[in-house]
Every structure is written in structure tokens, then in C-alpha cells.
């Protein structure tokens, strides 16, 4: 058995499997099948599949890409899971990706990008996209604490991580829409939230798929330096969209980043190895 295969199938994970959970998956498929790879969108903590169903799912389908959005356990309409871990979230992504008709492109937003990074070591993705990635560690916590101390500090003690309108959206988004989106935010599992702050780096990706990192230099959750570090991890530079907030898929100019993602995929990026 090769080392790569050993990374995908771990004896200790077989011995202690994750508890099954009912998962919400929303989808939009093209009117005409063109053989393009399916996209699996993974939202960040507190967000559900609804965050991609607002705009990106239908837009991707209109350009020929089958599009699916997952609500991690405990999020959206998935089964409640207050004690979920990052491993459980990773399991959700791998299980749903494996159920799709073809090898998928994994697209993670925020802390969902960290989950995708872990999933890449278990699932041979066609490619991956990390949108405004929150890749964890105390540096992430420090940046969040400086920008939103009242909403960040409770997370250290098991409370919810609360993000506000100024962090998530640009001033261009009408206040009514921003309030509606913020009112839909939930919370991640306590253990997963803590692991986000303290966890180590993900293992290497299976098959070395191409990875695109994108975000906004004006993001009040993920600083531009973090975007640069995330992209450097995969041997590239980040694609930047000035003037947008953290939730690029919901912000006023949501078309720009999704079109950039689809344009990149339409060029059929090949695995690095």
C-alpha cells in the first residue's frame, strides 16, 4: 500500500469512525450536461448551504458546472451537532464529495476553507478553491480579536463567535440584505471552534490538485497577509477583489469572484503531480 493511500485510509479512523449525521445538500445543475466537474461549496462556521444558494449555485450551473452546497453538521438544515469537531466536518465533506457523479472541485469559504484543506488529504479532488480562507492558529485569533473583540473573545470560552455586518460585507450591500444574512448565521461546534484556534496545519493533499486562493484586501476577518501566506502554501499568489467584505458570495459584487473561479476552472487546471 502506498504512502498516499495510507494517508487516505487511516487505521485509527476505521477503528473510531465518525457518527453518521443527516446533512443538508442544495444543488443546481446545468440544463445541458457538458461533462464539467461538479463543484462542492463548503461554507464557513456559522454559515449554511443557503449562503451559496443565494447566488453562486445557479450562476455556476448557468455556466455549465453542476453545483452543490453542503451545510456542515450543526449548520443550516443539517442535523444539530453542538460538539462537532473539525474531523467530523472533514468527514461530512469527504462523504458528500464521494457521492457526487464525478471527481469534484472543493470550494471552501472562511473556516470552511480549513475543512476543505483537511479534506484534500483524504479525497482526491479535481481542484480546490479557498475563498477568504480562515486557516486557523493563534494568528487568526489575534487578527479577529483586534477587529471584533466583543464577538471573538467569547469563542475562547466556548461561546459563539459573532461576526458583524462591517466584517462580512462592504458598504455597497444594502443594509436590509446585510441584516437578513446576519440573522441567518448560526454557530459552529464548541470543539471545532477551539480546534480552529489551536490546530496544526493540514496534511499534504492527495494527488497535489491545483489550488486557487482568493479574497479581498479589505476583508475585516482575514488580513491580506494571511491570504498571501495561504496562497504561498500552494505555490501561488492570491487573486484579490478590493472593496469586498469577507462573505464574497453574498456581497454586492458577488459575480466577480465566482466568474473568476469558473474562468480558472474552464482553463482545465491540471494536477501538479
**CATH number of the structural domain spanning residue 49:** 3.40.50.1820
pLDDT band at 20 (very low <50, low <70, confident <90, very high): confident
Q: Is residue 108 part of a domain?
A: yes
The model's pLDDT over 76-118, given as tens digits with 9 standing for 90+, comes to: 999 999 889 999 999 999 999 999 999 999 999 999 999 999 9
Q: Is residue 73 part of a domain?
A: yes
Q: Is residue 273 part of a domain?
A: no
Q: Is residue 271 part of a domain?
A: no
Comparing CA positions, the residue from 211, 160, 162 lying closest to residue 188 is 160
Q: What pLDDT, on a 0 to 100 scale, did the predictor assign at position 4?
A: 43
Question: Does residue 48 carry a pLDDT above 80?
Answer: yes
Which value, in Å, is the radius of gyration of the alpha carbons in the chain?
17
Question: Does residue 138 carry a pLDDT above 60?
Answer: no
Distance of alpha carbon 260 from alpha carbon 213, whole angstroms: 11
Higher-confidence position of 24 and 202: 24
**Residue 108 belongs to domain spanning:** 3-266
Q: Where are the beta strands (DSSP E) in the chain?
A: 24-28, 39-42, 67-71, 105-109, 127-131, 211-215, 239-240
The model's pLDDT over 240-251, given as tens digits with 9 standing for 90+, comes to: 999 999 999 999
Q: What pLDDT, on a 0 to 100 scale, did the predictor assign at position 188?
A: 83
Count of domains for the chain: 1
Helices H / strands E in the chain, number of each: 13, 7
Question: Does residue 216 carry a pLDDT above 90?
Answer: yes
Q: What is the mean pLDDT of the chain?
A: 87
Q: Is residue 272 part of a domain?
A: no
Average pLDDT over residues 245-273: 90
Q: Is residue 100 part of a domain?
A: yes
Q: For 215, phi and psi rounded to 5 degrees?
A: 180, -165
Residues 6+ apart with CB under 8 A from 233: none
Q: Is residue 26 part of a domain?
A: yes
Q: Is residue 259 part of a domain?
A: yes
pLDDT band at 262 (very low <50, low <70, confident <90, very high): very high
Amino acid at each position: 500500500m502506498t504512502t498516499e493511500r495510507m494517508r487516505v485510509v487511516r487505521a485509527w479512523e476505521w477503528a473510531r469512525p465518525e457518527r453518521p449525521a443527516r446533512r443538508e445538500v442544495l444543488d443546481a445543475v446545468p440544463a445541458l450536461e457538458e461533462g464539467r466537474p461538479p463543484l462542492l461549496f463548503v461554507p464557513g462556521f456559522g454559515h449554511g448551504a443557503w449562503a451559496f444558494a443565494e447566488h453562486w449555485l445557479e450562476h455556476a450551473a448557468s455556466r455549465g458546472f453542476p453545483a452543490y452546497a453542503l451545510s456542515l453538521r450543526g449548520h443550516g438544515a443539517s442535523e444539530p451537532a453542538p460538539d462537532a469537531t473539525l474531523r467530523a466536518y472533514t468527514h461530512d465533506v469527504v462523504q458528500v464529495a464521494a457521492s457526487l457523479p464525478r471527481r469534484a472541485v472543493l470550494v471552501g469559504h472562511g473556516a470552511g476553507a480549513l475543512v476543505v484543506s483537511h479534506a484534500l488529504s483524504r479525497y482526491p479532488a479535481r481542484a480546490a478553491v479557498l475563498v477568504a480562507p480562515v486557516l486557523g492558529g493563534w494568528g487568526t485569533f489575534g487578527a479577529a480579536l483586534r477587529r471584533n473583540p466583543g464577538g471573538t473573545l467569547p469563542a475562547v470560552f466556548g461561546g459563539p463567535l459573532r461576526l458583524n455586518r462591517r466584517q462580512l460585507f462592504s458598504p455597497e450591500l444594502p443594509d436590509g440584505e446585510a441584516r437578513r444574512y446576519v440573522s441567518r448565521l448560526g454557530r459552529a461546534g464548541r470543539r471545532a471552534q477551539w480546534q480552529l484556534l489551536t490546530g496544526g496545519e493540514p496534511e499534504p493533499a492527495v494527488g497535489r490538485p491545483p489550488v486557487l486562493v482568493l479574497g479581498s484586501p479589505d476583508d475585516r476577518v482575514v488580513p491580506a497577509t494571511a491570504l498571501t501566506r495561504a496562497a504561498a502554501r500552494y505555490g501561488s499568489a492570491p487573486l484579490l477583489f478590493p472593496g469586498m467584505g469577507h462573505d464574497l458570495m453574498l456581497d454586492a459584487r458577488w459575480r466577480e469572484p465566482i466568474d473568476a473561479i469558473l474562468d480558472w476552472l474552464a482553463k482545465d487546471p491540471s494536477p501538479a503531480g
